[in-house]
Amino acid sequence: MENSKQEYRLEVTGITKSFGVVSVLKGVNLKVKPGEIHALLGENGAGKSTLIKILSGVHEKDQGQVFLDGKEIQPKNTHEGQLLGINVVYQELSLVNDLSVAENIYLHTLGANKFWMNWKKITQQASELLDSLGFSIDVTSKVRDLSIVQKQVVEIAKALAEETKVLILDEPTTVFDPNDIKKLFTNLIRLKKEGVSIIYISHHLDEIFKIADTITVLRDGVDTGSVAVAETNTDAVIHLMIGRALEDLYPTRNIQIGDVPVLEVKNLSGKRGIVKDVSFSVKAGEVLGIAGLGGSGRTETGKLIFGADKKQSGTIILNGKEINTKSPVDAVGYQIGFVSEDRKEEGVFLPLSIRRNISVTNFDSISSKLGFINIESEYKNILGLIDKLNIKTPHSEIDVKNLSGGNQQKVALAKWLSIDSKVIIIDEPTRGVDVGAKIEIYNLINEVAKKGVAVIVISSDMPEIMGISDRILVMHEGTIYGELPKEKFSEENILRYAIAQPLNKNI
Amino acid sequence: MALTIKEQLSSPGGWLKFLVKYNTVFIFVLLVIFSAFISDVFFTSVNLSNLLKQVSGIGIISIGMLIVILTGGIDLSVGSLVALLAVIFALLINMVILPVAILLTIIIGFALGSVSGYLVAYQKMAPFVATLALMTVARGLAFIYSKGSPITFNTTGGLFMSDFANNATLGIPNIAIIFFLIVAITMVMLRYNVFGRLIIAIGSNEEASRLSGIKVNKYKFLVYAISGSLAAIAAIVVASRTNLGSPNMGMAWELDAIAAVVIGGASLNGGKGTAINTLMGVLILGLIGNILNLLNVPSYPQQVVKGAIIIFAVLLQRFENK
């Protein structure tokens, strides 16, 4: 590795990492030069976060080597990583709300050497650092009182407070407006000139092409090689990321939609006041999309129908008969299923096996009157579903916490597919799910619809909701602002309704 | 992709996993071997049957504690319930015929447990608080109903019970047989019955359970009621052994029960734990006391050793989570 010492600041070879039975990284290589901005790309679940967590010392790698300036390193925790000069700006903010800005920036050095704090010095240094970044924030204010943008700036300043050889930024611009992004980029270029190696993770390809020198793409835990930004283009990069052209993401649908509505909702309002006077209907075999901005009442509408939120007024009619879903127990009794957007908290039982997860909704068909379970038919059912949904697992007794996001989502869906449902409400069907599993989930939704189930899909992912729905309702502040038939699907139209604007007539 | 059950059982590393999975069994076996070496008296039938008789009462309430803990709750009332129900049983046995006395005691146990269950499931009270309240209420009632002193059995029914409780069938003390039966039934219920599956699901994720259409409140209510019923059975057993019901019975037993469940590898967060491991936890705790008694260790150092063993057992279980 002698000659690499000259050329590369950071060299990663053959890194592998598994969590339980799920291998996340399967041999990743990455080489970053001093003074280089290196973009790390990949779909959700490709292994980007795991890789940077290994570099910074959060996780320990299983195999492979990491060299910093030609010397092999194995940070055991983030403190060791920082001492080596590897600093990370995480996507999830890691600030302490009740401490001041200055304290947060120097948190890792607080009390490290001396017993007494030098408040004056810390305050002064912090404010100089923020000034040099081009942002003015009062360093004595509590982080709790900052805006999300300011918090992100503090997060970046915190990483730069240490002597930094490698700076890793994970989606740093999600909360920034164009002006802030410009400032950030100016700083990154300055750091680059100072010789700092920067690993930049982002889903915004335009940013990447503006600032990065080199791109490495991760797909399913392997790197698909590195390319110089100057020698590639957006389409080529997307192709590298998903391994296929974009068009085949959404399966073509050819489903006979029934004539009569399966589910009708009339003037539905929730007790919490988030959903107001919502009316719509879904037919057999139809996939109805509900779009809208965060907080527009999408999720709450689904939960109201399912009985998970309390109803204020309005009627729900299933197959022509009025039903009263006071609780999920009632809704399940009426054969209505609900897949929550919050998979880990509300969707699956992480510490339980796949079998125990899926069976939870299905005991009626596999147990006797006294509740004794016919284990043989349980296994038959579960193994069949694992096969059908292509859940990637060695066997049915693996705990769900050890599965990838996509496979966890399939388990959450399997709960409702294993019983006969008339209506299935799916909130964010593919959040945090990789591309391969996305396609499989879309196919499943189609298959369910084909059986004559009325499907309601709630999603904030616009290409997704347009790709899989037959009709889209757009919500705004708790009401349905507009309805889009298939021929009027476009991101612009959804957005216009979502912010309570009429459609543009020219389109 | 999918494997058969047979293939699943012969997965690689099966033996090591087996060792880690049944670590409480191995601790138990090690303790038995150790005891046999250091004391000649240990492996006598008198000692062993004494040991079993001593642990049966706590063992029965430990099973109730287990199913409550599986839902993510806790039941601090069981020790006091044993005292109150033992007093009630002693009063009843001197008034009515034996089967009625037994049945009524169990029904009252169910009702008392239902109080906690109602408060926790329907009034959303924290299990710790609800059962702590019931704990002091039950102890107080035990002293009130007994007027502060033990109530001795004085009927033929009482004689029959104390005979039964102090005799053995096929060498196994009768009350231990009751305990083992309860363990066996619980094992089957947790593994092969919807009830067991659902309380484990509720303990591992209550919100996901609710959104899966499980009657969460009903099951949370039931586990406390069952725990109360098991406290009644434990009360009948311990009262019969000594031929009396005393308001001082079951003192701090709830803590021993929690210890047994925890040594058995259950998680206080709920969703994890088995009846067989709780049985092992009960036996381990009993064994430690037994050995230390045989070695003439006074009771205060015994408590220190017990605490140390709890820490040791729980540390060992860390490997399981790896």
- In tens, the pLDDT along A353-383 reads 999 999 988 888 888 888 899 888 899 989 9
Chain A residue with the nearest C-alpha to that of B7: A395
- Please give the ipTM for the structure prediction: 0.82
CA A494 – CA A485 distance, rounded (Å): 11
Residue type, A268: L
Helices B78-93 and B216-242, packing angle to 10 deg: 60
Q: For the segment A227-245, what is each residue's pLDDT rounded down to a tens digit?
A: 898 888 877 887 787 665 5
CA B85 – CA B108 distance, rounded (Å): 8
Chain A residue with the nearest C-alpha to that of B205: A349
Nearest to B195 among A371, A383, A395 (CB): A371
More confident residue, B12 or A327: A327
pLDDT more than 70, % of chain B = 92
The residue among A52, A417, A449, A16 whose CA lies nearest residue A251 is: A449
Nearest to A328 among B2, B204, B211 (CB): B211
Q: Hey, are the CB atoms on B200 and A352 less than 8 Å from each other?
A: yes
- Which positions in chain B touch A363 (Cβ < 8 Å)? 194, 197-198
Average pLDDT over residues B68-77: 96
* Residue spans in chain A of domains classed CATH 3.40.50.300: 4-245, 249-352+420-498
- Which positions in chain B touch A395 (Cβ < 8 Å)? 2-3, 7-8, 11
Element (H, E) at A358: helix A354-359
DSSP codes joined into one string, B51-92? HHHHHHHHHHHHHHHHHHHHTT---TTHHHHHHHHHHHHHHH
Chain B residue with the nearest C-alpha to that of A340: B211
Mutate to test the interface with B, among A349, A383, A417 (most CBs of B within 10 A): A349
Q: For the segment B265-282, what is each residue's pLDDT rounded down to a tens digit?
A: 888 888 889 999 999 999
Q: How many CA atoms lie within 13 A of A344 on its CB side?
A: 8
Chain A residue with the nearest C-alpha to that of B191: A373
CA B276 – CA B273 distance, rounded (Å): 9
Q: For the segment B154-196, what is each residue's pLDDT rounded down to a tens digit?
A: 888 888 998 898 888 988 999 999 999 999 999 999 999 999 9
Q: Hey, are the CB atoms on A386 and B7 less than 8 Å from each other?
A: no
CA B212 – CA A346 distance, rounded (Å): 9
Place domain A249-352+420-498 in its CATH homologous superfamily: P-loop containing nucleotide triphosphate hydrolases (3.40.50.300)
More confident residue, A180 or A312: A312
Q: Which residues, 6+ apart, have CB-to-CB distance to B171 below 8 Å?
A: B45, B49
CB pairs under 8 A between A and B: 98
Task: Flag whether pLDDT at A204 surpasses 80.
Answer: no
Which pLDDT value is given to residue A2?
Answer: 44
Which pLDDT value is given to residue A244?
Answer: 59
CA A232 – CA A414 distance, rounded (Å): 41
Residue at token pair 């379970």: A373
Both structure tokens of B285: 């705790």
Let me know: does A428 contact A238? Beta carbons within 8 Å. no
What is the largest distance, in Å, between two alpha-carbon atoms of chain A?
A: 77
Mutate to test the interface with B, among A344, A346, A365, A380 (most CBs of B within 10 A): A346
Q: Hey, are the CB atoms on B201 and A396 less than 8 Å from each other?
A: no
CA B122 – CA B127 distance, rounded (Å): 12
- Which positions in chain B touch A366 (Cβ < 8 Å)? none
A369 touches chain B (CB under 8 A): no
Taking the CA of residue A230 and the nearest CA in chain B, the distance in Å comes to: 43
Both structure tokens of A206: 């335009």
pTM above 0.80, yes or no: no
Helices B174-192 and B45-70, packing angle to 10 deg: 30
- Which positions in chain B touch A329 (Cβ < 8 Å)? 213-215
Q: What is the mean pLDDT of chain A?
A: 86
The dihedral over CA atoms of A319, A322, A328, A334, expressed in degrees to the nearest 10, equals -40
Task: Flag whether pLDDT at B3 surpasses 50.
Answer: no
CA B225 – CA B206 distance, rounded (Å): 19
Q: Does domain A4-245 have CATH number 3.40.50.300?
A: yes
Q: Hey, are the CB atoms on B193 and A373 less than 8 Å from each other?
A: yes
Q: Hey, are the CB atoms on A360 and B1 less than 8 Å from each other?
A: no
Both structure tokens of A199: 């690993």
pLDDT band at B246 (very low <50, low <70, confident <90, very high): very high
Measured from the Cβ of residue A362, the count of other Cβ atoms closer than 10 Å reads 21
Chain B residue with the nearest C-alpha to that of A385: B2
Residue A197 DSSP SS3: strand
Parallel, antiparallel, or unpaired: how do β-strands A454-458 and A423-427 relate?
parallel
Mutate to test the interface with A, among B194, B209, B272, B317 (most CBs of A within 10 A): B194
CA A170 – CA B63 distance, rounded (Å): 49
Chain A residue with the nearest C-alpha to that of B269: A351
More confident residue, B219 or B303: B219
Both structure tokens of B268: 């206080």
